[in-house]
Amino acid sequence: MGFIRDEDIVEIRGRLQEMVNPVRLVHFTQELNLEYGREAQQLLKELAEISDKLSLEVYNYLLDKEKVAEYGVDKVPATVIRDGKDCGLRYFGLPAGYEFSALLDAILTVSKGDSGLQEETRQKLRQLTQPLHLQVFVTPT
C-alpha cells in the first residue's frame, strides 16, 4: 500500500503519456527530517515508477554536500525538476494535494521543453541578463 492509490496511478500514467523528453527529479532529504521528508521521498519514488521517462535521484542533504552546492539547495525536502540540464525549477516541501497536480504539470511542461509563454513575454524575458530569483509560497490545499 503506497501513497498513490491504484486508481490515481491509472490517471497519472495517462497524463504522463504526454511526456516527450525524459525528466529527472533530483530529491534532497535528511534523516530525521520531520515527518515530511520520508513522505516526500516515498511519494516521488512511487511517481517515478509510473513512467519510464521519469527518473528519481535521491541525495542526503547533510552528506552529499557537492550536490547540495551544485543545486543551491538551502532547505529540505527539496526537489529539482530538470531535463538534460538544470532549468532552475525547485519545489520545497511535500508535493501533496493540489501541489501534486502542479508538480505533474511542471514535469509535463519541462518534458515538452516549451514554457508556453506569449511571444511578447518571451522577447522581454530575453533582455534579462542577470540572475533573477523567484520564490513562490504555495499551499497544498
Partner 1 sequence: MSLAYRFALENNWVRADAIEASEFPDLVGKYRVLAVPKTIINDGGFIEGSLPEETFLEEVLKIAQPAAEEDDAFS
140 near partner 1, judged by CB under 8 A: yes
13 near partner 1, judged by CB under 8 A: no
32 near partner 1, judged by CB under 8 A: no
139 near partner 1, judged by CB under 8 A: yes
Q: Which long-range contacts (CB under 8 A, 24 or more apart) does 18-21 make?
A: 18/108, 18/111, 18/112, 19/51, 19/53, 19/54, 19/107, 19/108, 19/111, 19/112, 20/111, 20/112, 20/113, 21/53, 21/83, 21/84, 21/111, 21/112, 21/113
27 near partner 1, judged by CB under 8 A: no
Backbone dihedral region of 121: left (phi > 0), alpha (psi from -120 to 50 degrees) or beta? alpha
For residue 99, the minimal CB distance to partner 1 (Å) is: 7
In the list 24, 61, 90, 100, the residue contacting partner 1 (rule: CB under 8 A) is: 90
Q: Residue 43: what residue type? A: L
Stretch that binds partner 1, among 12-20, 24-32, 56-64, 106-114 (CB under 8 A): 106-114
Residues 65-84 contacting partner 1, CB under 8 A: 72, 75, 77
- Positions in the binding site for partner 1 (CB under 8 A): 34, 36, 72, 75, 77, 87-95, 99, 102, 105-106, 109-110, 113-118, 120-122, 124-140
